[in-house]
Amino acid sequence: MNPTNVIEIGELRRSCASCSLQQLCLPASIEADELDRLDRAVRARRPLRRGEHLYHQGDVARSLFVSRDGAFKTVTVDPEGESQIIGLHLPGELIGLDGMGSGRHLCAAEALQTATVCELPMSQLETLLPQLPGLQRQLLRVMGRSRDQDQSHVELLGRRQADDRMLLFLHGLRERYLLLGHDADQITLPMSREDMASYLGVVLETVSRSLGRLQDEGLIDVRGRQLHILDARRLAQRVQGEPPRQVGS
């Protein structure tokens, strides 16, 4: 492979293609001609407003998506009409993997704020994957990461104490922002308190109380949706099961 035909990660991050599918083509370098073919397959979608759906539960799965900016929640509705938020997708993360098994989406994807999205049609992906081994490997990594996030959510809901669920949620959010190369200690919470309650499986008042207790402990400072993680090391220790430090000790 000729080194002059390889686009380095820093250059990719500044290019349109890196933005449109950074979770697919990064962190591995990708050859210039491969990047060009990938970029030609990507479709830019019109901006979605807050509350608009990228797809609905039961829709035929025709594409994978990456939000260039703006977060999404994934929601399931049971036969009785009760909805449950089961996923959160940050800018740069892949959306739509739930439809790759059955061919239909198992949930709905809804914009949490104004978002611009890039779309990779499944038909194009099926053609590209055998021809671009690097893309194939990276997609498998992303799918594995998505499975890990699903497992983390199951673990989160298995925690009996609401504060433990909140701790695990905030710690996981910080880790994901780190992975995406963002400031992980100064976060604008992508979810409303109501959405956080649904995601955590608690009532709205419990979310506010849990955030307040964690703030009293000196772990976080939260004002509206602006979250400052004050002690990331102690946050991680709490997630691992260490008891809270007594105030004044």
Chain mean pLDDT for the chain: 80
Global pTM exceeds 0.75: yes
Burial-class residue 240 by CB neighbours within 10 Å (0-12, 13-18, 19+): exposed
Tell me the CB-side half-sphere exposure of residue 39, using CA atoms within 13 A.
13
Which domains, from first to last, does the chain contain? Answer: 3-138 (2.60.120.10), 159-239 (1.10.10.10)
- Whether 12 shows a pLDDT value over 60: the answer reads no
Q: What is the DSSP letter of 143?
A: H
Which of 28-42, 55-69, 81-95, 118-132 is predicted least confidently?
28-42
Q: What is the mean pLDDT of residues 193-209?
A: 93
Q: What angle do CA 156, 200, 60 make, to 5 degrees?
A: 95
Q: Are 91 and 154 in contact (CB under 8 A)?
A: no
Average pLDDT of 179-184?
81
- Averaged pLDDT, 25-31: 51
Side chain identity, residue 50 = R
